[in-house]
Amino acid sequence: MSQAADATHAHAPTSTGIDHKKLIMWLFLASDCMFFGTLISTHLLYRKLYPTGFTDAEGHQQFVKNLFNIELTSFSTFILLMSSFLMALAVSAMHKGQVKSFRRNVLGVIFFGLIFLGCQVYEFTHFYHQGLTIQNSVLGSTFYVLTGTHGTHVAIGVLWLILLYFYSFTGKLTGHMAGLDVEIAGLYWHFVDIVWIVIFTAVYLVEYLGPSGFWGTGLPLAK
């Protein structure tokens, strides 16, 4: 997808030898790091401030650990990791000009990405029915906005890959530039994957550190 780039310049040698499109994707990812960094910090700050959890609609105190379904989330994390593996295969295939292999692998990435999104949709509905909403607690706000933003990134990635997949049938996805275009999509996909590993650790896994989780289950602070 050469959304922003002009092939004209991409053919010209650059000062650093890195293609413009690749460089701008790295710059975007640097910026996105700060973006997710801010969101994750928000979650962690509030998690530290309110270690107890949240109160559901019936007024019952709920602990975060009881809310999470760590098996499901571990599964979807594994799926996302595997999709990165397939993405690497897809990039490599396109660099070698093996369009068919590229299609197979990219379909796999799309499929895995959709499974991840499905898990997230299930998780959100499940948590909602458990009583965690965006309005009833700070935890709900930070959790849904953080993981939701990541989900949006995944969804954009899936959309991008679907478009690439169909674009490969037009016959225009060939040569050096094609490899580059796929590689850039791959950069994005890997980044989104890595961010998920950070989120999975900082949001989910820390709740299982020790008997009462990393944040403890201290008394609720003044509301």
Partner 1 sequence: MSHDSHHAPVADKMELAPERSDLGLIRPDRTRGLFDWLTTVDHKKLGIMYGAFAMFFFLVGGVEALAIRTQLARPDNAFVTARMYNQLFTMHGTTMIFLGVMPLSAAFFNFLVPLQIGARDVAFPRLNAFSLWTFVAGALVLNGSWFFEFAHLAGWFDNFAWHKALVYTDFAPANGWFSYAPLSGTFGQANDALQAPRFTGVGTDFWIIGIQILGVASLAASFNFICTIVNMRAKGMTMMRLPVFTWMTLVTSILIILAFPAITVALIELMFDRQFGANFFNPSAGGQPVLWQHLFWIFGHPEVYILVLPAMGIVSEILPTFTGKSLFGYPIIVFSGAVIGFLGFAVWSHHMFTTGLGPVPTAAFSLLTMAIAVPTGVKIFNWLGTIWGGRIRFTPPMVLALGFIWMFMCGGFSGVMHSAAPADAQQQDSYFVIAHFHYVLLGGVLLGLMAGLYFWFPKIFGRMPNAGVAYLASGMVILGFNLAFGPMHYLGLAGQPRRTHTYHAGNGWETWNYVATIGAFILGFGVFLAFANLVYTAFKGNKCSNDPWNGRTLEWSLPSPVPEYNFARSPIIAARDVFFEHKHGAYKLAYENDGGEAGVHMPSQSWFPLLAGFGFLIIGFGMPLMSMGVPHAGWVVISGVGVMFLGIWLWALEGPGGYMLKTPADPLGAAAPANAATSAH
Residues that bind partner 1 (CB under 8 A): 1-9, 14-16, 18, 20, 23-24, 27-28, 30-32, 34-35, 37-39, 42, 45-46, 49-50, 134-135, 137-138, 140-142, 145, 149, 172, 221, 223
Residue (100 or 223) nearer to partner 1, CB: 223
Q: Pick between residue 120 and residue 142 the one whose CB is nearest to partner 1.
A: 142
- Least gap, CB of 206 to partner 1 (angstroms): 20
Measured from the CB atom, is 37 or 218 closer to partner 1? 37
Q: Which residue, among 151, 3, 175, 164, has the nearest Cα to 80 in the 3D structure?
A: 151
**Residue 40 or 117 with smaller CB distance to partner 1:** 40
Q: Which residues pair with 88 in a beta bridge?
A: none
- Helix intervals (H) in the chain: 7-11, 20-49, 64-67, 70-95, 99-130, 138-167, 175-199
- What element of type H or E holds 55? strand 54-55
Angstrom distances, CA of residue 41 to CA of 45, 48, 124, 152, 153: 6, 10, 21, 19, 18
> Between residues 12 and 210, which has the closer beta carbon with respect to partner 1?
12
**Least Cβ distance, residue 59 to partner 1 (angstroms):** 13
Closer to partner 1 at the Cβ: 35 or 75?
35
In angstroms, give the least distance from the CB of 120 to partner 1. Answer: 18
Question: Alpha-carbon distance 178 to 106, whole Å?
Answer: 14
165: tokens are 């997949």
Q: What is the DSSP string of 60-111?
A: -EE-HHHH--HHHHHHHHHHHHHHHHHHHHHHHHHHTT-HHHHHHHHHHHHH
Q: How far is the CB of 211 from partner 1 (least distance, A)?
A: 25
CB of 194 to partner 1, least distance (A): 16
Tell me how far, at minimum, the Cβ of 91 lies from partner 1, in Å. Answer: 19
Q: Which of 199, 221, 205, 215 is nearest to 41 (CA)?
A: 199
